[in-house]
Amino acid sequence: MTANNGSASPGAEDPRFEDRDIAGTTDNPIPHLDGNAAAGPLWELFRIDIIAAIGRCKNCGAVRVFGEAAVYSDAPGIVVRCSSCGGVLLRLVETPTKFWLDVSGLSYLQIDREG
């Protein structure tokens, strides 16, 4: 698995100049992935390939391909954030008995029909 941004330069004079998405320490980068990282579990749930789907962020109104979203999976669940505003688009938690899916950050998802 590859993170989008594992290369914050340690020793930068002002931490604000580092990638704002991470606060990686030498041993502990905070990686985020792209929308592919959420595709597997969503396929498992709905049998929809969501990568090419287009979603509208309820927070900022950006309309973007799902695959471009930022996925945080080093967490108690999967959190998908808008790559325009950082707002949460989708959260997915898998418990031993249930999936919990919150899509309240999306005002719509537009999914191509096959064929």
Partner 1 sequence: MGIISSGFHGKRRTGNPALPQGQYETESFPVLTAGPAPYIARADWEFFITTETGQRRAWSWDEFMALPQVDIRTDIHCVTSWSKLGTSWRGVSLDALFEDVETTSEFTTAHSYGGYTTNVPLQDLLDGQAWVAWEFDGEPLERAHGGPARLLVPHLYFWKSAKWVNGIELTPHDVPGFWESNGYHIYGDPWREERYS
What residues line the site for partner 1 (CB under 8 A)?
15-16, 20-25, 27-30, 32, 70, 72, 74-77, 79, 81, 86, 88, 91, 93, 95-98, 100, 102
The option from Zn ion, partner 1, none interacting with 6 (CB < 5 to 8 A, set by class) reads: none
Q: CB within 8 A of 64, min separation 6: which ones? A: 54, 55, 57, 82, 83, 84
The pairing of beta strand 63-65 with beta strand 54-57: antiparallel
- Residues at the interface with Zn ion (CB under 5 A): 57, 59-60, 62, 82, 84-85, 87
